[in-house]
């Protein structure tokens, strides 16, 4: 053995081994040494931050969406705080996964973003993806998608007490008398003002125009003598049906309601009331929620019973929520969109539904009375335009409920 050349042979072997190690990433690709996408994969030899992707996309108005995700995990706490994030969006999940759909990048350490440039996209679903980039420029990609449904632009109901209903009490009979001639402070119901009418008209059934009209006619028929002058001109009474029943169905408001319902998630009184859980039976899930706030559509009697209707949207994940088919309005008779479920006025509500998968994502939306008063040509197959018009008066903010077994 040539002991004089032994150190040189060791040095040559080490150089050869080092050359192999340097060449490996280029031969097999960076993923061969850095792991799978979404858990630290990167471009280049440096391993990127551990990042699982976006976790929340919630509409907060008709033109903005709030996004959130967990902080990426770097090699050190300092490295984690130096990670910045890139946000991608699209009209489909595929568009959001494209690297050409970048809409914004955050400052290091920022784990939320509000996409506020969505004017003119009401009643649309937007899909989002987020990636993480550390200070060395290594990016951890993620295929995880979250979606949010922008509500329709709010439009107040078309019927208010004055002039739509107040003018009805001035309709004259064959003798020149009208409802207001007799029904004043001395005779109930008192039609002299909005407040006196709602406080004294026992035939009014809040939010139910058809039932209110039937009760109104019944009171009329049961008292034929004071109403004798109308018997010769019955059309003057029948003409009252449309404006009166529409007004009642839209909430019996004194003035137009131009503010949509809203869930006050930050109110202390609502803490812990918006959540989901498995069960109670096998293959079932249950969502719980509190009453949304909409004081502008509250009738004078102050009762919230029937004021708002709640729709529950569910999907296996955020990007698979079926926004056109509320789960609690499916298979509920021949006219699902008129099943006013959860229009109860309770402080806390819940709904249990069958769900065979291990995980689901749910969103609850509130709908006020003026939206419910819209009708469909074919109730079982409403058009997108009809749905947008009916759901225009839904709550403008949402929050996802994630349930896992």
0.95 exceeded by the pTM? no
* Residues contacting 386, CB < 8 A, separation 6+: 374, 376, 377
Domains of the chain: 34-149 (2.60.40.10), 161-249 (no CATH), 268-404 (2.60.40)
Please give the chain's pLDDT, 405 residues, in tens. 444 544 444 444 444 444 444 333 333 333 322 223 444 544 445 677 889 999 889 888 889 999 999 999 887 888 889 999 999 999 999 999 999 999 999 999 999 999 998 998 888 899 999 999 999 899 999 989 999 988 887 777 778 888 889 999 988 888 888 888 888 877 788 888 888 888 888 888 878 888 899 998 888 888 888 888 888 888 888 899 999 988 888 888 888 777 888 999 999 999 999 999 998 988 999 999 999 998 887 776 777 777 888 889 999 988 888 888 888 765 444 444 544 455 666 778 888 999 999 999 999 998 888 777 777 888 777 888 888 888 888 888 888 899 998
DSSP string, 48-67: --B-----EEEE-SSS-EEE
Bridge partners of 285?
Answer: 278, 353
**Rounded to the nearest 5°, which phi and psi values hold at 111?**
-115, 30
Distance separating alpha carbons of residues 270 and 349, to the nearest angstrom = 12
Crossing angle between the packed helical segments 209-222 and 241-249, to the nearest 10 degrees: 130
């Amino acid at each position: 053995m040539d002991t004089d050349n032994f150190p040189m042979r060791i040095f040559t072997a080490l150089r050869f081994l080092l050359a192999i190690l340097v060449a490996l990433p280029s031969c097999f690709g960076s993923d061969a040494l850095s792991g799978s996408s979404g858990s630290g994969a990167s471009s280049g030899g440096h391993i990127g931050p551990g990042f699982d992707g976006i976790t929340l996309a919630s509409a907060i108005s008709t033109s903005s969406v709030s996004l959130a995700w967990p902080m990426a995990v770097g090699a050190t706490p300092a490295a984690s705080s130096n990670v910045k994030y890139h946000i991608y969006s699209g009209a489909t999940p595929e568009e959001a996964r494209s690297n050409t759909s970048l809409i914004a990048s955050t400052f290091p350490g920022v784990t939320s973003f509000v996409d506020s440039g969505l004017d003119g996209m009401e009643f649309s679903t937007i899909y989002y993806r987020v990636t993480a980039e550390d200070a060395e420029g290594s990016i951890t990609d993620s295929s995880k998608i979250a979606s949010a449904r922008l509500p329709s632009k709010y439009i107040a109901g078309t019927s208010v007490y004055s002039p739509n209903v107040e003018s009805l009490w001035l309709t004259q009979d064959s003798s020149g008398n009208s409802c207001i001639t007799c029904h004043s402070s001395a005779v109930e119901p008192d039609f002299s003002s909005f407040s006196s009418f709602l406080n004294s008209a026992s035939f009014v059934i809040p939010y139910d125009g058809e039932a209110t009209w039937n009760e109104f006619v019944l009171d009329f028929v049961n008292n034929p003598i004071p109403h004798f002058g109308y018997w010769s001109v019955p059309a003057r009474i029948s003409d009252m049906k449309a404006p009166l029943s529409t007004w009642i169905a839209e909430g019996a408001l004194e003035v137009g309601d131009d503010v949509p319902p809203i869930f006050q998630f930050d109110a202390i009184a609502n803490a812990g009331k918006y959540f989901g859980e498995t069960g109670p039976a096998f293959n079932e899930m249950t969502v719980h929620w509190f009453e949304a706030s909409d004081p502008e559509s509250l009738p004078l009697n102050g009762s919230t019973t029937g004021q708002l209707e709640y729709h529950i949207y569910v999907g296996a994940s955020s990007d698979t929520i079926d926004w056109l088919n509320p789960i609690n309005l499916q298979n509920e008779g021949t006219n699902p969109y008129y099943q006013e479920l959860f229009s109860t006025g309770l402080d806390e509500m819940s709904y249990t539904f069958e769900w065979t998968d291990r995980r689901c994502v749910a969103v609850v939306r509130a709908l006020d009375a003026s939206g419910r008063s819209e009708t469909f040509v074919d109730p079982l197959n409403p058009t997108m335009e009809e749905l947008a018009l009916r759901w225009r008066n839904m709550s403008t903010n949402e929050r996802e409920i994630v349930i896992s077994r």
